[in-house]
Structure 1
Amino acid sequence: MSDLKQSYDHVIVGGGVAADKAARAIREEDPDASVVILSDVGDGPLYRPGLSKDLWLKDGATLEGLYLGTTDTGVQLALNTTVTAIHPGRHAITTADGEDIGYRRLLLATGAAPRRFDTPDDERIIYYRSADDYRHLRSLVSEGTRVAVVGGGYIASELAAGLATAGARVSVHFPGRRLLEHMFPDSITGHLTEVYESRGVELDGGFRLASVRTGERLVLVPESGEQVEADVVVLGLGAVPDIRLAEAAGLEIADGGVLVDTVLATSAPDVYAAGDIATFTDPLLGRRRVEHIANAERSGETAGRTMAGTCTEYRYTPLFYSDLFDDGYEAVGEARTDHEVVEVWNDAGDAAVLYYLRDDVVRGVLLWNTWDSVPKAREIMAASREGMLPTTELTGQITPGG
């Protein structure tokens, strides 16, 4: 029998970082408020980036160390609980068990799900997103396991580095010419190619997956070219925001996400959205949707404070970051090579600041092996947006390697 109450002051749908931050903010603003988090997975909120970073790359890192301790705040956490509908008109949600739960205010923080390909049902084929996915992949990988990673982006590049560090024989298969070429210019992608190959990772550009065949070994069948055999296949094809509840309830959708105003309120009364699903107005870049941890943390906290009665505007340009073997970066804004890229390197050639421009305005800054400079990067973007920083003066704004 469920121990859920008939109604709560605050109902949060989704069990990730945004939900945790919102719950903590609500409790800080209103310690007596009743709060429940409804999550359709069996694990409590955890620091998701660690699933593809720390757990593979850092000695002594454990899954338990990633849990955020959400219930320490006194909120109720209902795991393995799927919400099937929201009813803004009567301020209620419905669960898969048929329970109706009322709310005074509701937060949608349903996150994103892995983008899927038409693959057979085989436990050796993995879409990587959750703690269960980590446990399963770890159970399949040991020294010498042949793992084929499909995808050329953020999650694929991180997992390839992590799996290689764990001793697997890793190959990465992607449609582009080089890994991460949508983000990095040739100066960096060429370096990464050398690094990955020196660590035993095979990089297979120009690969377009047609199907996966099962048998004693898995076989990747490309649209053209040679087939690839593997013991395990990991598909890192990006993510899709989970906006099904919002769409079904008639909330306004924009740019693939749930449209919110400056306080993260949706088009429905007393319904808010945060994290991966929220389409918000970035103070430097305008309307956008961001699938990175910093946005989930900050937007969850902001939504929680507003829900608890302290109206707080979301005025934030999120950062994102990654570690790739011995290299690392932090970035703000649009790190996209379809923009003009201005590169500033240090004398040693191992650290850089990259500026991404559109119409002579800095839309993004990438700090390659350069640290503690994210606030300055935002200042540069703001000054460029206001026409106060000519592109000729970008060199010297941030010292590469700092």
Structure 2
Amino acid sequence: MADDYDYLIVGGGMVADAAARGIRERDASGSILILSDDVDEPYTRPALSKKLWTDPDFAWADNDLHTAAETGAEIRLSTHVDRIDRAARTITTGTGETVGYGRLLLATGGRPKTLDLPDDDGVIYFRTASDYRHLRDLAGSGRHVAVVGGGYIGSEIAAALAQNDTRVTIVFPDDDLGGSTFPADVDERFESRFRDHGVSFLAGRRLASAAASGDGFTLTLDDGSTLDADGVVIGLGIEPNTDLASGAGLQVDDGIVVDARLATSDPFVYAAGDAANYPDPILGRRRVEHVDNAQEQGAVVGRIMAGSDEKYTHTPMYYSDVFDLGYEAVGRLDSSLETVEDWKDDDSVVVYYLDDGVPVGVLLWNVWDSTDKARQVLAEGSALTADNLVGMI
């Protein structure tokens, strides 16, 4: 194995795959090394809570991104990077190996938010392909799984399990599932899909503790009530992995701070994906944890590392599929903001979210092929008002 690489990528997710492909657009022969904590080579993360549960013709082999075969990158799995020596331009792994780099990309992603729960195989903090396989083994056959968290990932996991012969109870702090995201009329339709599929709600509740009980668990909620389940899935979001960057003296502020070229304060070190805090040209500085950003940002940073003079100018979208409905969105969705609803039919609506009268988010509920129009609305910003938004999309 070489001790020095032209391009070194820390993190083995979709950003790493996209970056390797971006590098190859400009540099056909430069050496690429991907160091990953994961036990699997890069795969598509959204399928872990969507397609792998709902499409019987989509197998795990279809989820492999074939990064090594298609880019020539070397991939080392189960490898943790402990520190960066910026002066020497090297990293050191947990096993003491030192590797040099010409350009370094931190695609370190995030780690699930955790609770003080037993360290048990029946408690799953859902994030990786290993977690997916583990949950597959736990689900089905009428077993009862408690999902803690009613946000983006919690709702998708609950829907996936409910469609795979699993009894589901979802525990969440809001009064309504999706209530912090969607306006009331949209949220009513969202909730109804879960109820129609037999999902039980424990609204306005948080998990206080859990204890092993026979082959399962007894969960105690913050009101003192209890719930028995065969397994527990925690879907409370993630925290960006910034320890490596901060330990190297790079600026960290809700992620690794980068400029429009995705470079840190060190011109040889870049960051992209879930862990990167970057300047969006429309919405300002932000950190985005969705696949569109991972793919687009990864490809751009790869080309930049290989000599491109471009900047990252994409404003990413995100999407979700639960049961028979789906939505796409751009920007900030927060039901506490002023909203304008433009219903297309009984189950299709565009919702505009306004902060101080300025559009900052667009929800496309069962409305498709309109994310570019949504970006245009946000780009026009203060030129638009609540009175002239209806009909824009």
Is TM more than 0.5 here? yes
So what's the TM-score if we normalise by structure 1? 0.96
What is the match of residue 362 of structure 2? Answer: 365
2:5 to 8, 16, 20: 8
Give the 5 Å matches for 1:156-235: 156-216=154-214, 217-235=216-234
Structure 2 portions without partners, runs of 5+: none
Task: Find the aligned partners of 1:52 and 1:12 in 2 and give their Cα distance.
Answer: 26
Shift of 1:338: 2.2
Amino acid at match of 1:10: Y
2:292 corresponds in structure 1 to 294
Residue 225 (structure 1) shift: 4.0
- Determine if the alignment matches structure 1 residue 389 to structure 2 residue 387: no
Tell me how large the CA RMSD over aligned residues is: 1.0
Give the Cα–Cα distance (whole angstroms) in 2 for the partners of residues 271 and 230 of structure 1: 46
- Structure 2: how far apart are the matches of 1:341 and 1:304? 38
Deviation of 1:143 after TM superposition, in Å, equals 2.2
1:262 maps to 260
Q: How does 1:127-142 map to 2 (within 5 A)?
A: 127-142=125-140
Partner of 2:62: 65
Mapped to 1, the partners of 2:114 and 2:390 lie a distance apart of 42
Counterparts of 1:388 and 1:153, CA distance in 2: 32
1:146 aligns to what? 144
**Matching residue of 1:26:** 23
Whole-Å separation in 2 of the counterparts to 1:359 and 1:28: 43
SS at the partner of 2:82? strand
How far off is 1:206 after superposition?
1.0
Q: Counterpart of 2:103?
A: 105
Percent identical residues: 48
Amino acid corresponding to residue 196 of structure 1 in structure 2:
F
Look up the equivalent residue of 2:385 and give its one-letter code.
P
8 Å contact from structure 2 (residues 275, 287) kept in 1: yes
User: Whole-Å Cα distance in 2 between the matches of residues 342 and 328 of structure 1?
Assistant: 19
Q: Offset of 1:269 from its aligned partner?
A: 2.7
In 1, the alpha carbon distance for the partners of 2:213 and 2:193 equals 33
Instruction: Pick from 346, 350, 357 the counterpart of residue 349 of structure 1.
Output: 346
After TM superposition, give the deviation of residue 393 of structure 1 in Å.
1.0
Cα distance, 1:122 vs structure 2: 1.0
For 1:326, the aligned partner's letter is D
Q: Deviations over 1:15-58 (max 9, x none)?
A: 00001000111112011101110001110111100000001122
The answer to whether residue 38 in structure 2 is matched with residue 41 in structure 1 is yes
- Cα displacement (A) at 1:389: 2.5
In the other structure, the counterpart of 1:323 is 321
Paired amino acid for 2:239: V
2 CA distance for matches of 1:226 and 1:83? 43
Partners of 1:21 and 1:246 lie apart in 2 by 21
| Equivalent residue, structure 2, for 1:334 | 332
CA deviation vs aligned residue, 1:77-125 (integer Å, no higher than 9, x gap): 1111111111111100001110110001000001011111111111111
Distance of 2:150 and 2:123 partners within structure 1: 17
Contact (CA 8 Å) 1:125, 1:235: kept in 2 or not?
yes
TM-score (norm 2): 0.98
| Structure 1 letter corresponding to 2:201 | L
Match of 1:76 in 2: 74
Task: Write the letter of the residue equivalent to 2:389.
Answer: L
**Partner residue of 1:280?**
278
3-state SS in 1 of match to 2:20:
helix
What is the CA deviation profile of residues 111-166 of structure 1, one whole-angstrom value per residue up to 9, with x for unaligned ones? 01111111111111111111111111111112201010000100100000000000
- Where 1:142 maps in the other structure, the secondary structure is coil
Residue identity opposite 1:393 in structure 2: N
Match of 1:313 in 2: 311
Q: Secondary structure at the match of 1:149?
A: strand
- Determine if contact 1:303/1:312 at 8 Å carries over to the other structure: no
Shift of 1:59: 2.1
Question: Would the aligned equivalents of 2:150 and 2:177 in 1 still touch at CA under 8 Å?
Answer: yes
DSSP-derived class of the 2:180 partner? coil
Verify the 8 A CA contact 2:140 2:165 in the aligned structure 1: yes
* Distance (whole Å) between structure 1 residues aligned to residue 312 and residue 336 of structure 2: 28
* Partner SS state of residue 213, structure 2: coil
1:291 alignment partner, SS class: coil
What one-letter code is carried by the residue in structure 2 that aligns with 1:391? A
